[in-house]
Amino acid sequence: MNEEQLKDLVVAALEDVKGIDIQVLDVRQLTDMTDYMIVASGSSGRQIKALVDNVVLKCKEAGRRPLGVEGERSSEWMLVDMEDVVVHVMLPTTRDFYQLEKLWDAEISTPSPTESEA
């Protein structure tokens, strides 16, 4: 599975659990740490946990184990490190405060339903 397929798998996993405002940041030209950062919001700590659990489950089913999952204690902001793709799932207030999309100043795309189904 290449990084594009992994990105699409993660987006689909987030959409399955009704992730809010899913944004894909292409950071390949900005860092060698990862290729894509995916930022999404959840309406509650419980939904954030469900979103992250679904991402991890779908990736494991596809043969990709995460390098790490952070933030499980607070569920205000959780991170899944899939090496080529890093996933941030936050409460809307936390996301608004940190503004990762602006911090990285990367090309942002909002996946259309057809992109994630392909």
- pLDDT over 70 for what percent of the chain? 88
Query: Residue 100 is which amino acid?
Result: L
The domain segmentation of the chain, as residue ranges, is 3-103
**At residue 8, does pLDDT exceed 70?**
yes
Average pLDDT for 86-93: 96
- CATH of span 3-103: 3.30.460.10
pTM for this one? 0.86
37 vs 106: CA distance, rounded Å = 10
Q: Is the pLDDT of residue 106 over 60?
A: no
The long-range contacts involving 94-97, CB below 8 angstroms and separated by at least 24 positions, are 95/21, 95/39, 95/41
